[in-house]
Amino acid sequence: MITRRSFGGMAFAGAFAAAMKPLRGVAAESPCRLRLGILSDIHVPTMEEGEHFRKALKWFDAQKVDGVAISGDLGFHGLIKELKCVADIWYEVFPDDRRSDGGHVEKLFVTGNHDVDGYFYHRPEFPKVKFPVDEESAKESFVCNRERVWEELFHEKYETVKVKEVKGYKFVLFHWFAHLASDICSERWTAEPPDTPFYNALRYEHRKLDEFFATRGAELKGDKPFFYVQHHHPADTVFSPFLYASPQGWGGHDFGRSTKYLKNYPNCIAISGHTHVTMSDERAIWQGEFTSIDASACPGLPFAGVIGGRSNAHRARKFPEETLFDCETPKVGQLLSVYDDRIVIQKREFTFDENLGDDWEFPWPISRGRPYAYDAQAKRSVVPEFPEGTVLKRTEKDGRLILEFPTVRRENAGARALDYEVIAEGRIEDFRRQIECRRVYSKGIGLAEHRDREPVRVVFDKEKLDAEGYKDLTFTVRPCDAWGHKGKPICA
């Protein structure tokens, strides 16, 4: 259970950092056994709009990666031509699956919901009809031509569950179909699946994961890490229960389908995406019975605020003066390096070609410690605080109340705030009551910390508050971290 107390977070963090120093020294003397590029939700619609993917691959090439994992949503509308753009950009950077220095780089790709359902999202019959029934409409859809298209574009056989090996490390790749066609998810759709040979071939495809672990699960046992790649997050791992408990959770996890197996493998490192949440959120890595990593989203974070309930997200801003969370600029990925005694994950932002916060680093085997278990992270966290003397500015303009406050960063406060709680209170007759409570991101939370400098502005409709009879309005703002810790308020 995750504690809500910091337990002297600063001291704990110092002790933790000190304990990790000898580990770094030892690892520096040992060679890197595997170097892996990680992306998710690349959403490449055209060659021109795939520049973020091209740039990420070029950076991976410079890092001499042994493979690139993409945990789903290669395209956007589920079209064959989108996946062709993905393949063309890949072979542009890695011709014949070779780096610029001649070394082999392995494709470790899986499909996501946009590669399958995306073809139907904007069609008038969705969700009543999930798959096209006439041959003409099926021609441009990847979902109806997956085996042929996958082999033509990526030069390998399409399999729902596929195992690859890179430098002696196994990768289990699980395509999206196993989730979409499963009986677990079927209640989300409004019509019975069509009785066609095409759909009937998919109806029980989810069982292939069960069959895989029943027949080949023993191959994965041991101290050597193996990697499991799928689009959904494994249930009860990253962002659970925080994200999944919200009404906006919209199936960010896989309903437990993979977790029931992966929990038996402490040497498993699961890689997933789908939710488009910023890697600045400390809950993007989780350690329990195994390790789970959120790969975020390479082309930007358009759903991050909406799913998380922030009121200044891409689709939620009400007033032009209000700070809008920048979901377009961040283009992110990860570089995972395996050493004999540790695993290091570098978080990279490709727009500005710089690291996104501190590396994630944990000892290996996992039995030596789980520094990214949620309770461990919560205990060592430092509560974000506004610097002494910070003022909450309050101005009025055209019937609106505008609050403005600076961002909280480590350089000025010892810890970076993930977001901010803004509370409006007022007096009605002879008692005071809370009118509204919002959570807002700063504009640059998806970027490196030194770029997150623009003041945050939050706007309230004063005419509406006056019309409702509120007097003596008071506003308070608290900086928050990912674990429920809140700093001291500033007030206006």
CA atoms of 228 and 163, how far apart (whole Å): 9
DSSP state of 233: B
Are the beta carbons of 381 and 480 closer than 8 angstroms? no
pLDDT in tens, 169-186: 999 999 986 444 443 344
Read off the amino acid at residue 319: F
Domains of the chain and any CATH numbers: 9-380 (3.60.21.10), 393-491 (2.60.40)
Q: Please list, in sequence order, all residues whose beta carbon lies within 8 angstroms of the beta carbon of residue 402, skipping any fewer than 6 positions away.
A: 321, 394, 395, 396, 457, 458, 459
pLDDT in tens, 29-58: 689 999 999 999 999 999 999 999 999 999
CA atoms of 109 and 230, how far apart (whole Å): 9
CA atoms of 482 and 82, how far apart (whole Å): 36
pLDDT in tens, 81-118: 999 999 999 999 999 999 999 999 999 999 998 998 77
pLDDT recorded at residue 177: 67
DSSP state of 264: T
Residue 442 dihedral angles phi and psi, to the nearest 5°? -75, 165
Nearest to 87 by CA among 78, 100, 76, 96: 96
Q: Please list, in sequence order, all residues whose beta carbon lies within 8 angstroms of the beta carbon of residue 372, skipping any fewer than 6 positions away.
A: 285, 286, 287, 291, 360, 362
pLDDT recorded at residue 179: 45
Residue 204: both structure tokens together: 């029980």
* Element spanning 38, H or E: strand 34-39
CA atoms of 279 and 331, how far apart (whole Å): 11
DSSP state of 249: G
CA atoms of 134 and 331, how far apart (whole Å): 38
Are the beta carbons of 210 and 250 closer than 8 angstroms? no
Q: Please list, in sequence order, all residues whose beta carbon lies within 8 angstroms of the beta carbon of residue 240, skipping any fewer than 6 positions away.
A: 233, 253, 286
Q: Please list, in sequence order, all residues whose beta carbon lies within 8 angstroms of the beta carbon of residue 466, skipping any fewer than 6 positions away.
A: none
pLDDT in tens, 325-343: 898 999 999 999 999 999 9
Read off the amino acid at residue 27: A
pLDDT recorded at residue 319: 84
CA atoms of 79 and 123, how far apart (whole Å): 13
CA atoms of 227 and 272, how far apart (whole Å): 11
pLDDT recorded at residue 249: 43
Longest dimension (CA), the chain: 77
Query: Hey, is 7 helix, strand or coil?
Result: coil
Mean pLDDT per block of 10 residues along the chain (492 residues) reads 36 40 50 97 95 97 98 93 98 98 98 84 62 68 88 96 97 77 43 56 75 96 96 92 58 84 97 92 96 93 68 75 91 97 97 95 91 96 95 94 96 92 92 92 94 96 88 95 96 93
Are the beta carbons of 40 and 296 closer than 8 angstroms? yes
Nearest to 232 by CA among 250, 209, 211, 214: 250
Pairing of strands 161-166, 169-174: antiparallel
Nearest to 32 by CA among 341, 334, 339, 335: 339
DSSP state of 273: -
pLDDT recorded at residue 254: 84
Q: Please list, in sequence order, all residues whose beta carbon lies within 8 angstroms of the beta carbon of residue 28, skipping any fewer than 6 positions away.
A: none
